[in-house]
Amino acid sequence: MRLFPLCAILIGAVSTSAYAGQYCTVDDSVMFSCTFNGGQKAVEVCDTNYWADGDNASYAFFKTNGEIEKEIITDKASLVATPWNGMGNSIWETVTFFSGDYGYDVWWSGEREVGSEVLGGITVTQNGDTLAELNCDEGSVQQNLTSLIEAVEIAQISP
């Protein structure tokens, strides 16, 4: 009888990680992931130190069949990281990747209440002007941007 609850927990663990790790080579390297358009597209932000040389991070926007539409691999020191300032009822963080004149702000937010919904998305800018705002599918946001932001801050301080 006790085997059934354990099986249910294991099956739940497998299904909750279905979106993470489609782009990032190692699941532990996923710092942010979510889907868009009912799961047709996805974004993943990775700490590439888990699977590549150099102090880099990567951004990939792709179709969930694996076709990459936009990929940026860059050193962490070049990212703009905005940690939560500790004020208000909403917790939020943003990391921005750059490709030429374009910026890709990956963000998440959530209320400070236990069990509140976590939201996320991408804001695409060109020379500071907003071109697009994409909101993640409900319930698809998985994030660990705090760890990436800490790594970015260390990279910007260290030569």
SS (H, E, C) the chain: CCHHHHHHHHHHHHHHCCCCCCCCCCHHHEEEEEEEHHHCEEEEEEEHHHCCCCCEEEEEEEECCCCEEEEEEEEHHHCEEECCCCCCCEEEEEEEEEECCEEEEEEEEEECCCCCCEEEEEEEEECCEEEEEEECCCCCCEECHHHHHHHHHHHHHCC
Domain residue ranges in the chain? 19-157
In sequence order, the 6+-apart residues with CB closer than 8 A to the CB of 101 are 126, 127
CA–CA separation, 64 vs 3, rounded Å?
Answer: 33
Query: Cα–Cα distance between 48 and 1 in angstroms, integer?
Result: 42
Question: Cα(122)–Cα(7) distance, rounded to whole angstroms?
Answer: 36
Distance in angstroms (rounded) separating the CA atoms of residues 159 and 131: 34
Give the model's pLDDT for residue 116.
86
What pLDDT was estimated at residue 25? 72
pLDDT for 15 equals 30
Instruction: Report, as ranges of residue numbers, the positions in the chain whose pLDDT lies below 70.
Output: 1-21, 26-27, 49-54, 159
